[in-house]
Amino acid sequence: MSVGRVASRLGWLVLGCATMSGFLLAHAQSADAQTTGAPPKKKKPKATPSASVAPPEPPAAEPPPPAAEPPPPPVEAEKKPDDPAKEKKKDDEKPKESNVSARVGTEMGAYTDTERVTVFTPSIYGAVYNPTGGWSVSGSYLVDVVSAASADIVSTASPRYEEVRHAGGLAGEYKPGDLGANVYASVSREPDYLAYTIGGASTYDIFEKNASILLGYTYGHDIAGKNSTPFEVFSRPVDTNTFKLGLSYVLNRRALLTFIYDTILQTGDTSKPYRFVPMFGPGVDVKPGLSVQHVNEIRLPERASEHVPGSRNRYAFSMGFANRFESATLRIDERLYTDSWGIKATTTDIRFLADLGQRITLGPHVRLHAQTPVNFWQRAYVSKGVEDLPTLRTGDRELGPLTSVSGGTYLRVYVGGSGDPHKVGLGLDTYVTYTSYPDDIYIQSRLAALGAFTLEVNF
C-alpha cells in the first residue's frame, strides 16, 4: 500500500470520527483524569508533584488579620436575635455550592498501516470527583474494530479477518491528606481473548508535599483462545503480576521530575495459536523482506506453530521531566526496558505544547523506540524435519530487532463560554510511525498513521 493511500484512508477515517463524535455528548482527553479523576484546571492551584500520585493540596491560607474592636451598636438599632430554629431554616434554604464536579468525554481513533491493518476505536469515559474531599470515581469503555491480515498470517492461508474488542474499566481514588490510595479494575474481551485486571496503589507525600512516593500492584489474568472455539476446548491462561514503584518530585515552581519502576512477572504460554513459523532446510539462503510466495517456495512443508517460553520477567524504568514555561510546556520521557527473553529497549518521548491564546493548545510530538531481539529470535529457523524443530521459535516481528520513529501533533481547542473556555474542548491528535524491521523475513518496514478526535465536557 502506498503512502498516499494510507494518508487518504486515514483522512476518511478521521472525517468519519469527527462526524460521529458530533452526536455524542461527551469528551475524552485527560489521561490523568481517566486514571485518577484529577480536579479540573481552574480549581484552586494544586501543587503536588504528581497529579496522579497525589491529589491537590489547597494553598496555605493566610491567617486572618486580628479583628478590630467593634463599635457599640446604637440602642435604636439593637434587635433581639432571631429564633435559632428560624436561622437554621434560612441557612437550609440558601443554595449550597456543590464541591462535586464531573467530566465526560469521547475519543474516536482511526488507524491504518501499510500492512493493510485498519483499526477503528471509539471510546467514552466519565469521572465524578470532589477536589476538596479528595475522592474520585471514573469509568471508561472502548471498542476496537480491527480488520487485518498480517503477512505471517497470510502465509498460513488464513483469510483476512475482522475482530471486535470491548474493554471497560472502573477506578476510584481517595486521598484526604498525605496518604492516599486508588483501586481499579478492567476487563477486555474479544472473540478469542479475555483479560481481567485488578490493582491498586498507595501514595504518600513527603518533604511537605514536594515529593510523592507511589507503591502499586496489579494482577492480570488473561485467557487466550481460538476463534470459534470455546474456552473450555482451547485456552491458555496467562497471569501477570505487576509491581510499581514511583517517585515524583517538585524541582522548582515550574518543573516536575518523575521516576517509575515496574517489575512485571508473567507466567503462561503467550504463543499465538494462529501464528506459524516457516522452517528452512540447512543452507537455504533466506534474505529479509521476502514475499509470502517466495517464502512458500523455499520453506519446508511442515508448519510449526509459534512456541515461546512459558514465563517472562519484564523490567521497565522510566524518568519523566516536565517544565512549564510562560505559555508552553515541555515534556521529556525516557524509558529503559529489559526482560528475561533478552529484549533491551529504549523509548524516548518528547512533547512541546504551546498555548496559542486562551483557547488553543498546539504542539509537536516525537517518539523514538529501539530494541534488540529476544535471544531465540531467528529470521529463518533451520530444521531437518518434524522431529528437529527448534524448541523456541517465533514469527512475531515485535520480538525482533526494530527501530521506530513517530511524529505527531497535539491540538486542543477550547470552546466553552468566555468565563470558562476549558469547559468544552475539542481535540485532534495525529500520529505517524515508521518502523524498520531489519531482520524480519516478510517485511522490512511499516508505515502507520493514527488520527484521534476528542470531545470533552466538564460540569
Residues numbered 395-454 forming contacts with other proteins, rule: CB under 8 A: 396, 398-399, 402, 404, 408, 410, 429, 431, 433, 435, 448, 450, 452, 454
Per-residue x/- marks for other proteins, 330-359, CB under 8 A?
-x-x-xxxx----xxx-x---x-x------
CB of 42 or CB of 90, closer to other proteins = 42
**CB 396 → other proteins: shortest distance, Å?**
6
**CB 248 → other proteins: shortest distance, Å?**
6
Other CB atoms within a 10 A radius of the CB of residue 34 amount to: 22
Closest by CA to 36, choosing from 198, 153, 197, 173, is 173
* 337 Cβ contact list (under 8 Å, min separation 6): 314, 315, 316, 317, 343, 344, 345, 346, 347, 371
**CB 254 → other proteins: shortest distance, Å?**
5
Residues 155-184 that bind other proteins (CB under 8 A): 165, 167, 169, 184
**CB 255 → other proteins: shortest distance, Å?**
8
Residues 274-293 that bind other proteins (CB under 8 A): none
Residues 150/156/160/166 CA torsion (nearest 10 deg)? -70
CB of 50 or CB of 383, closer to other proteins = 50
CB of 146 or CB of 382, closer to other proteins = 146
Closest by CA to 441, choosing from 303, 307, 280, 282, is 280
145 binds other proteins (CB under 8 A): no
CB of 302 or CB of 352, closer to other proteins = 352
d(CA 397, CA 342): 14
d(CA 106, CA 29): 8
Residues 179-218 that bind other proteins (CB under 8 A): 184, 186, 188, 190, 192-193, 195-197, 199, 207-211, 214, 216, 218
d(CA 301, CA 306): 16
Among 9, 10, 35, 104, binds other proteins (CB under 8 A): 35
138 binds other proteins (CB under 8 A): no
Q: Which residues pair with 318 in a beta bridge?
A: 260, 335
In this structure, is the dihedral angle defined by the CA atoms of residues 128, 130, 133 and 134, taken in order, positive or negative?
positive
